[in-house]
Every structure is written in structure tokens, then in C-alpha cells.
Amino acid sequence: MSVPSRFASRSVLPDPAERLAPGRTALVVVDMQNDFCAPGGYIADALGKDVSGLAPIVLPIRALIAAARAGGIPVVWLAAFYEEELLPPSMIAQKRRLGIAATCCQRGSWGSDFFGVAPAEGEAVFAKHTYSGFSNPKLELHLAGRGIEALVFCGVQTNVCVESTLRDAHARGFDVAIVPDGVASHAPQLHEATLANVRFLFGDVVPSAELLALWAARDAAAA
């Protein structure tokens, strides 16, 4: 995969405040859906995992979304729909290996509804049928059309769909950042592993309070 030509002449920005500045950044909200986050959803019932650690990210994400909307930063939403006829064979094989018959985020179901946060009118929502949001080619076209060069990630699960999309974004030339208190997983050790991977190789790990202060300072300077 080659880096898109629109990044060829871009300057390297050493400061996170520059990399994640309004005007070049979008906030990506990944899979904040009942089946991943809520008691009674797919992760809790079909997989038998504890999802109690996921709800606390709602408040930081709400704050990030509010600040992004106020500052003219695009908010981009990813939503999973995992009916088996839509999945790649690799995902179906793993599902069968685990002996899971239930469908995750079936379109039109309570499980596919947004959890704790929701898109505003006019905000782009991209459906996906595998872990990376870039499996939907409309996502990259949307970002390119708005001159976006940096992506800030929040949502779930840290070590699966968030990490998969972040890695693809990095490979495509975007500056990437993850908000540690705005992402969560039912597997805390894998959540921490993703944060360590991002910090080491891929981009910035920026707590929500720090990012909000950064955006506020840039807005004040531009006023």
C-alpha cells in the first residue's frame, strides 16, 4: 500500500499541538454501539465478557465531541454491521471456531444502536463489515475531500476495531492519536498493549483533558 500522493509534500510536524490542530484533524468515534458496550449486548451475552469498564468512556467522548463540534473539527463515526453474509471468510472462520451463533450488530437491531453518544445531523457515518473502518473506501474519500491529515481515535474495542483502523490510517499517511480515557476494551491487558504500541510506533497517546486544552488554546489563538 502506497501513501496517497496528497501527503507527498506535507511537512513533518514534531509537536502534537501542531499535528492535532483544528483545521487538519478529524475525531473518529469507533463502534460505540450497544452490542459492544451495553449489558445484554453481544460482547456481554454471546461472548460472556465483562463490559462494565466500557461505560466510563462515554463522558470523555461526549466532551471531545462537543469540543470538536464547537471548534469546527469534523466528527466521523464508524458503525459495525456483522451479519454473516457481509463478513469476510476469515471472520466467519474465527466466529465458528469460538462456537458463536449470535449475530453482532445486526442492522436495525437494538444491538446496532449507538451507545451513550450519537451522530448529529449531517455527520458522516461509515458502515463496516470487518474491523478496520478503512475497509469502507468511502471513509478515505470523505477525509481526503475535507483536507484531513490527522485522526484522533476514541471508542471501542481498543485492541480490535480502534487499533485496526488506526494502523490502517497510519499506513495511509495520516498522523494518528488515541485518547486513552476515551477508548476501552473488555480485555484491559490488551487495551494497555494497544496504547503501548501506539506510543512506541504509530502516534500520540493524548488524554482527553490534554486534547481539550490543546484545541481550546488553538481556538483562542485563532480568535
75 vs 183: CA distance, rounded Å = 16
- The residue assigned the cell 456481554 is 44
Single pTM value for the model: 0.95
**How do beta strands 25-30 and 75-80 pair?**
parallel
Which residues are catalytically annotated? 31, 128, 161
Q: Name the CATH superfamily for 16-222.
A: Isochorismatase-like (3.40.50.850)
Nearest to 131, CA basis, from 109, 105, 110, 111: 105
Tens digits of pLDDT across the chain (223 residues):
667 766 766 778 889 999 999 999 999 999 999 999 999 999 999 999 999 999 999 999 999 999 999 999 999 999 999 999 999 999 999 999 989 999 999 999 999 999 999 999 999 999 999 999 999 999 999 999 999 999 999 999 999 999 999 999 999 999 999 999 999 999 999 999 999 999 999 999 999 999 999 999 877 777 6
